[in-house]
Amino acid sequence: MDNYSRDDNGLYYKLRSLIVARLLIGVTLLLGAAIPLEITGISEATQFLFPLITAILLLTILYSGLLNFVKNLYLIAYLQLFADMIISGFVIFRTGGLESPFTILLAIIIIVASYILESKGVFTIAICTSLFFGFIVVSQYRGWTIWWPIRTEGILLPPPTFAGYVIVVNLIGFFLIALLANKLSERVRRMNILLKNKNIQFSYLWTLNRRIVNEIHTGLITIGHDGEILSTNPMVKKLLGIPDDSGIPSRLDDLLPAYLVQSIMRIAERDKPSKQAINYQVQTVRDTIWLMIEVVILQKKTLDPARLLLILTDISERKKLEDIRRKTQRWNTVSEISAGMAHEIRNPLASICGSIEVLCSQITLTDSQLKLMDIIVRESERLNKLVTDFLDLSKPMKPDFALVDVKKVLGEIVVMIRTANSFGDNITLKLEMSDDLHDIELDRDQFAQVVWNLVKNAFEAMPDGGSLELSAVISNVQETGRGLLSTQPNPPFFRLTVKDSGTGLKRDQIEKIFDPFVSFKRKGVGLGLAILYKILENHSANIRVFSEEGKGSQFVIDFPLRQTEVLISEYQGDDNFEKHPNS
């Protein structure tokens, strides 16, 4: 039997424990009886105790050696039990045989057998013990004890009828002990197996629980009654912007700001279990995120050190959606206002411009008057352009989708860029395009307007010159980073990237650049990027902005290859059915 099987059935450890128990209990009891008798000088009573102790010591050494070298452990078990039976017989013979008070040793052997062996082995030992006890009694009455190494002369034996009665009672007792001990041992074995299975299940559930707690995208913090942090999961570090090589503080005061801790503790003062949420803004190295901290008051239990459970959830995307909804509401308001204003302003503007032109042709004006007339005409045209932008924002033209050769369109735009007045020798232009940019479903004019608007903003962000990079590729890899989402296209998609080395934007400016009437330039009304956003929204495109002050900006736009497939996917998504392009 190999080591694996020994560990499997537990017999090896049972035998080893039996050897140790026999050595400690047997030798201790025998020495405890032999030493006082030896001191008092009763040598006849102790003449067999010391040899018996020596025999137990020698057998212990023998059993230990056999246990490590013999593979059949059941053979060792039977050897130990039969040897113990013989030793017990010597003790019973020497202490009166039939009337010996140590007959109980044979019952103990049966109990030990029920601990070590299966049911068949227990009853086998019970039968052997009964036969051995009968042999002891018969030996006394037949005079066979002269062949044993101990003598029992002088012992008065009871009548044979009483001896038969004692034998029957002991035999019945041995088998009852075997039956009861076996039942008890079987129950203990079943309980051990059940406990082992329960431990395995508990270990599995504990491991599963730890995996779930460690893998979920929600931070968990358990707090003690005195504000001590009892446990956290790895997501807490990520949500709170704590470096991986740093540890979690031991107290809540060192982990969260004081005002937030005070709010949490005020909630914790309630007696009844409850839950309340607090929104908290965290400034990390790369980004600013919003967290919803749910404060859960745990039910008071005896010896339970946990008092509070803090559940940290990243609600940044929810905040972005709320911002988009607010922007949409503002755009709707602007649309209603601009639609009315445009009709009321454009007609007077046309009349003013027409009247100025008539006056200039009919009357003679001085140079200063001509300059004033030019100012009026120029400002009227600027106002007319503003009104036109209002109309584009309030009621943008629906895209006229067609299959467009993007490579050709971008080539024409690059020619326009190089001939623009704002393009000088101090600006380096780099264009990167893949060869598979044909037959992309777009509105050609609106696409050109988007590119030109981004290029113009890049020129204005580089007054002292710099580099401008345009990239157009087919991709299906989503990048991570800060972005403003219109409608997420299904991959693969067409990606347009416009990158400049200009002044860049602050983190709080990125969130506002697509809002109408928000401009961070000296000259500008703040409608260009708002109109661009509307165009991208109508194209089911996704735009993300990466920028850092003093290090330039990068606009990444993902267009779906086919608008019709996006519409089908959105329509069927209402019925819980998802369709991907080219599937």
Strand partners, 440: 404
Both structure tokens of 60: 């212990």
97 within 8 A of 137, measured Cβ to Cβ: yes
CB-count exposure of residue 420 (10 Å: 0-12, 13-18, 19+): middle
* CA dihedral (291, 297, 298, 302) positive or negative: positive
DSSP letter at 502?
S
Following CA atoms 142, 145, 147, 149 in sequence, which dihedral angle do they give, to the nearest 10 degrees? 170
Instruction: Determine the Cα–Cα distance for residues 561 and 442; give it in Å rounded to an integer.
Output: 8
Max Cα-Cα span within the chain: 165
CB-count exposure of residue 262 (10 Å: 0-12, 13-18, 19+): exposed
Instruction: Go through the domains of the chain in sequence order and give each one's CATH number.
Output: 3-196 (no CATH), 216-314 (3.30.450.20), 320-394 (1.10.287), 402-573 (3.30.565.10)
Q: pLDDT at position 554, please? A: 92
In the chain, the amino acid numbered 579 is: K
Q: pLDDT at position 151, please? A: 47
Strand order across the 542-547 sheet: 427-433, 466-475, 493-500, 553-560, 542-547
Of all residues in the chain, what percent are helix, strand and coil, respectively (each to 5)? Answer: 60, 15, 25
Give kind and range of the element (H or E) at residue 569.
Answer: helix 563-573
Please enumerate in sequence order all residues whose Cβ is within 8 A of that of 308, keeping only pairs 6 or more positions apart, or say none.
Answer: 222, 223, 264, 268, 295, 296, 297, 298
Q: How many CB atoms lie within 10 A of CB 133?
A: 24
Closest CA to 498 of 564, 540, 552, 534: 552
219 within 8 A of 235, measured Cβ to Cβ: yes
107 within 8 A of 45, measured Cβ to Cβ: no
SS3 293: strand
* CA dihedral (115, 117, 119, 123) positive or negative: negative
289 within 8 A of 314, measured Cβ to Cβ: yes
* CA dihedral (139, 145, 146, 147) positive or negative: positive
CB-count exposure of residue 336 (10 Å: 0-12, 13-18, 19+): exposed
Both structure tokens of 327: 């922007």
Both structure tokens of 252: 């809540």
Q: pLDDT at position 150, please? A: 46
130 within 8 A of 141, measured Cβ to Cβ: no
Q: In terms of DSSP bridges, do strands 466-475 and 427-433 run parallel, antiparallel, or are they unpaired?
A: parallel
Instruction: Determine the Cα–Cα distance for residues 90 and 48; give it in Å rounded to an integer.
Output: 9
Q: How many helices (H) and strands (E) does the chain have?
A: 18, 12
* CA dihedral (266, 272, 273, 279) positive or negative: negative
SS3 274: coil
Look at the block and give the residue holding tokens 């067409």: 494
SS3 479: coil
Instruction: Determine the Cα–Cα distance for residues 421 and 133; give it in Å rounded to an integer.
Output: 121
Q: In terms of DSSP bridges, do strands 440-442 and 493-500 run parallel, antiparallel, or are they unpaired?
A: unpaired
Closest CA to 469 of 448, 500, 443: 500
SS3 26: helix
Instruction: Determine the Cα–Cα distance for residues 415 and 183; give it in Å rounded to an integer.
Output: 97
Q: What are the pLDDT tens digits along the chain (583 aa)?
A: 444 344 445 788 888 888 888 888 777 776 666 666 556 555 455 566 677 777 888 888 888 888 888 888 888 888 888 888 888 887 777 776 777 777 888 888 888 888 888 888 888 888 888 888 888 877 777 766 554 444 445 456 667 777 787 778 888 888 888 888 888 888 888 888 888 888 888 888 888 888 888 888 888 988 887 788 888 888 888 888 888 788 888 888 888 888 888 888 888 777 676 778 888 888 766 677 888 888 888 876 556 777 788 888 888 888 878 877 877 777 677 666 766 666 667 667 777 777 777 777 777 777 777 777 777 777 777 777 777 766 665 566 678 888 888 888 888 888 887 777 666 678 888 888 888 887 888 888 888 888 888 888 888 888 888 888 999 988 776 554 434 433 444 567 889 999 998 888 887 788 778 877 677 665 656 677 877 888 888 888 888 888 888 888 999 999 888 876 554 444 443 333 333 333 3
Please enumerate in sequence order all residues whose Cβ is within 8 A of that of 46, keeping only pairs 6 or more positions apart, or say none.
Answer: 33, 34, 37, 38
Please enumerate in sequence order all residues whose Cβ is within 8 A of that of 214, keeping only pairs 6 or more positions apart, or say none.
Answer: 233, 234, 235
| 442 backbone dihedrals φ, ψ, rounded to 5° | -145, 170
Q: pLDDT at position 35, please? A: 64
Give kind and range of the element (H or E) at residue 222.
Answer: strand 219-224
- The tens digit of pLDDT for each residue in 478-525 reads 554 434 433 444 567 889 999 998 888 887 788 778 877 677 665 656
**Dihedral-angle region of residue 524 (phi above 0 means left; psi in -120 to 50 means alpha; beta otherwise):** left
Both structure tokens of 568: 């089908």
Instruction: Determine the Cα–Cα distance for residues 469 and 497; give it in Å rounded to an integer.
Output: 8
The whole model's pTM is what? 0.45
Instruction: Determine the Cα–Cα distance for residues 297 and 306; give it in Å rounded to an integer.
Output: 9
Q: pLDDT at position 569, please? A: 45
288 within 8 A of 507, measured Cβ to Cβ: yes
**What DSSP string runs through 507-518?**
HHHHTTTTSTT-
Instruction: Determine the Cα–Cα distance for residues 507 and 99; give it in Å rounded to an integer.
Output: 100
